[in-house]
Structures are given as C-alpha cells and as structure tokens.
C-alpha cells in the first residue's frame, strides 16, 4: 500500500470533513497517523476548529 506524505495527509484530513472517504483512503490515513505526531496533532486541531467556530460569541443568544 503506497504511503502518504504529510502534505497528502493534510489534504485528506481536511476532505474527511466534507466528503466520505474510501476504505483505502481511511487505511492509508490510519497508517500515517500511527507514526506521525505532527499530523495527529493537525487532526485534533481541525476537529477543535470545527467545534470552536460554532461557539463564536456572535452566535450566542444573550437570553439563553
């Protein structure tokens, strides 16, 4: 199975948020993330960003 480099992983991680990825893509991702802390951190950070945006102060209803 051809290995992904970090750049390809960053692109794929971003795309997992917007489309369904294939089994092969998932396997290749997992193989890379097992051995790459940088990309693992990147993944957590993407997840965090997604959650964070939805809690932007401007969206808060002051009466809630």
Instruction: Output 27 or 41, the one with its CB closest to other proteins.
Output: 41
DSSP label at residue 36: -
Instruction: Output 6 or 27, the one with its CB closest to other proteins.
Output: 6
Considering only CA atoms, which of 23, 28, 24, 22 is closest in space to residue 9?
A: 28
Is the C-alpha dihedral spanning 53, 56, 60, 64 positive or negative?
positive
Smallest separation, CB 23 to other proteins (Å):
19
Binding site for other proteins (CB under 8 A): 5-8, 10-11, 14-15, 17-19, 37-39, 41-42, 44-46, 48-50, 52-59, 61-63
């Amino acid at each position: 199975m051809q290995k992904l480099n970090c750049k390809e992983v960053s692109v794929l991680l971003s795309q997992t948020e917007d489309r369904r990825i294939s089994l092969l893509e998932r396997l290749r991702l997992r193989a890379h993330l097992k051995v790459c802390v940088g990309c693992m951190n990147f993944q957590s950070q993407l997840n965090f960003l997604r959650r964070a945006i939805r809690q932007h102060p401007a969206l808060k209803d002051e009466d809630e």
